[in-house]
Amino acid sequence: MEVVETRTLGEGWLEISRRILEAGADATYDGQATKELPVVTLTVAEPDPEDELIASLGDADWLDWMRRNFTEPDDVPELGGARSYARRLRDYDGRDQVAWVIERLRADPETRSATITTFQPLDDTSYIPCVSLLDFWITQGRLELVVYAHSLDFGKKAYGNLVELARLLHEVAAAVAVPVGPLLIHAKSAHVYEPELETMRRLTEVAV
């Protein structure tokens, strides 16, 4: 089990990537070779969706793709026509889960069950969303978001996930009028696919 604590999203992205490159085991995911760290917990103390390190080192096209995934309700062709995160979060069989979380926290700031999911088990058979559980709570006067992901691809998409989850945390915090707290992510599998290994070695060296 790896525990990573950083101040910013970008630092968290690169530190986990560095650990994957240094200590990751050979594995495969959907038939593709990866380097993998199992059971990783990342805590980001100041999760800013406008993270400068990610903006400068991340791929703009992947960031845009993830932004659309979290904001546009259309199905995602690159995921075999699976539902976007936007639809899962804001139109889950007609329920806007983000609005529901906001109202639950407003009604009871001490609630420990402002919990929503992106997983739709009756429909998700071939594609299972990487990020499946989002759990909001107000602790020590700040709103914290705890996330579970079955896997995160740190060579391509994970930094986009981090940015959009931070953006969602800021949205909910503003709506319930409390300061933004940490973003905490539990990932069963943190990995880098083989084609991105050299790119991530270069990026982690540049950022040292």
* d(C-alpha 107, C-alpha 87), whole Å: 25
Number of helical H runs and strand E runs in the chain: 7, 7
Query: Cβ neighbours of residue 188 under 8 Å, at least 6 residues apart?
Result: 38, 39, 149, 150, 151
- The confidence score (pLDDT) of residue 208 equals 56
Kindly state the DSSP code that residue 118 receives in the 8-state scheme. Answer: -
The tally of domains found in the chain comes to 1
Residue ranges of the chain with pLDDT lower than 50? none
The residue annotated as part of the active site, out of 57, 82, 130, 172, is: 130
Do residues 145 and 134 lie in contact, with contact meaning Cβ atoms separated by under 8 Å?
A: yes
Q: Is 130 a catalytic residue?
A: yes
Query: Which CATH number covers residue 110?
Result: 3.30.572.10
Domain containing 156 equals: 2-206
Q: What is the pLDDT of residue 104?
A: 98
